[in-house]
Copies of this chain bind each other. A is one copy, B any other.
Amino acid sequence: MKVSELGEFGLIDLLAVMISGSKSDQPGPGQLVIGLGDDAAAWRSDDSIELATVDAMVQGIHFTLDTISWRELGWKSLAINLSDIAAMGGVPRYALVALGLPEDTRVEDVSLLYEGMIELAQQTGTGIVGGNISRSPVVAVTITVIGGSPDGRVLRRSTARPGDTIAITGHPGCAAAGLEMLKKKMKLPAPAGDHLRAAFLSPTPRLDEGRTLIKCGVETAIDTSDGLLADLRHICEASRVSARINVDNLPIHPAVSENFGERARTLALSGGEDYELLFTAAAPVIKRVKTDLAGPVTAIGRITAGEPGKISLFDAAGKTVEIKEYGWSHF
């Protein structure tokens, strides 16, 4: 069987079984808090928890150099990793950067890549402490971020409970709208166009938001890298619960609703790469989050008991809504 037939998540499940079957022989398993299957790995070290995550940007798969600048590529390659630390409620500390570069890559472009990366590293207190450079047929940036949760608490995918409210930061669908705008060379008015371009090419990892969620008592979160529905399904599968979404409550940004018509809702539900935080908690906790977070927080549905991973969509009138696209998978 080819990996394209099994699919990305099927392959991850298969490898997770192989690895967990072997884990008993490894020392210090008592220290490991979370292995595969969450936004980052987590292990205990004294009173705190250490976190580590890795993610890659591959030319031709995740980006093309005619739409993203080298500076944006550096920023985004680090941002998607910091977003995984944010989704654990953690604080980033160190980054290791593995670059794959074709031999005719311009040195100036590599410098711009690092400028973008360093800018975000400085803003977030992340030290770039190591790396590797290798020749490669395409540009590939693979970054590992190591961080921690000083108070020993983390946000997980596996702790959602029936009755929890489902909420999200920001405006889902902006990144996917930005990608569509760039691909189709759509001419949008500057504020809308700039907003969507930035949403797709230089997302802001929600690190402060992740810490605030923990302080407010939230236990369950994921970042929306695969898309709202796909990432909600990750939570529901890990927590063995179902979910109901009220699609009329989706906080769709005017730049999307005004320029993408009927597609706006699909972009919000299925478009990937927003790197917002999707989280669940009891209603009073969500209320506290809305007060404590500066940016937008919107309740969009509810966790229910039922078939693990099943998500039902409704409109404000209670009528079932169908959707065909379900988010991003690699194969």
Give A55's nearest chain B residue, CB to CB: B132
A14–B110 alpha-carbon span in the complex (Å): 10
A22–B100 alpha-carbon span in the complex (Å): 23
Additional pairs, 4, CB under 8 Å, beyond known A3-B104, A28-B125, A61-B134: A4-B103, A12-B133, A19-B128, A40-B130
Interface check A8, CB cutoff 8 A: yes
User: Which one, B105, B131, B330, contacts A134 given CB within 8 A?
Assistant: B330
Q: If the complex has contacts A129-B32, A131-B36, A137-B138, are A22 and B52 also in contact, measured as CB distance less than 8 A?
A: no
Q: If the complex has contacts A22-B122, A103-B4, A107-B2, are A98 and B56 also in contact, measured as CB distance less than 8 A?
A: yes
Contact B35 A131 (CB under 8 A): no
Partner-B contacts on A (CB < 8 A): 1-6, 8, 11-12, 14-15, 18-19, 22-23, 25-29, 32, 35-36, 40-41, 43, 45-46, 52-56, 58, 60-62, 93-94, 96-98, 100-101, 103-108, 110-111, 114-115, 118, 121-122, 125-138, 140, 142, 144, 146, 330-331
How far, in Å, is A298 (CB) from chain B's closest CB?
Answer: 29
Contact B11 A133 (CB under 8 A): yes
Contact A36 B130 (CB under 8 A): yes
What chain B residues lie within 8 Å of A25 (beta carbons)? Answer: 122
A128–B22 alpha-carbon span in the complex (Å): 10
Contact A129 B96 (CB under 8 A): no
Contact B135 A331 (CB under 8 A): yes
Contact A136 B61 (CB under 8 A): yes
Main secondary structure of the interface of A (DSSP, over half): mixed
A94–B144 alpha-carbon span in the complex (Å): 12
How far, in Å, is A71 (CB) from chain B's closest CB?
Answer: 13
User: Which one, B46, B94, B110, contacts A46 given CB within 8 A?
Assistant: B46
What chain B residues lie within 8 Å of A142 (beta carbons)? Answer: 54, 56, 98, 132, 142
A43–B121 alpha-carbon span in the complex (Å): 17
Contact B54 A98 (CB under 8 A): yes
Give A138's nearest chain B residue, CB to CB: B137
Q: Which 7 A-B pairs have the closest CB atoms?
A: A41-B129, A41-B130, A4-B103, A144-B144, A54-B96, A142-B142, A27-B125
Contact A93 B144 (CB under 8 A): no
- Listed by A's residue number, 18 A-B pairs whose Cβ atoms lie within 8 Å are A3-B105, A11-B133, A14-B107, A14-B111, A15-B110, A26-B122, A27-B125, A35-B127, A41-B129, A43-B93, A52-B129, A52-B146, A54-B130, A55-B98, A56-B132, A58-B135, A60-B137, A61-B134
Give A51's nearest chain B residue, CB to CB: B130
Q: If the complex has contacts A52-B129, A56-B100, A140-B140, are A11 and B330 also in contact, measured as CB distance less than 8 A?
A: no
What chain B residues lie within 8 Å of A105 (beta carbons)? Answer: 2-3
Give A11's nearest chain B residue, CB to CB: B133
A23–B122 alpha-carbon span in the complex (Å): 8
What chain B residues lie within 8 Å of A15 (beta carbons)? Answer: 110-111, 114, 131
User: Which one, B53, B94, B101, contacts A41 given CB within 8 A?
Assistant: B94
Contact A26 B127 (CB under 8 A): yes
What chain B residues lie within 8 Å of A121 (beta carbons)? Answer: 22, 26
How far, in Å, is A315 (CB) from chain B's closest CB?
Answer: 35
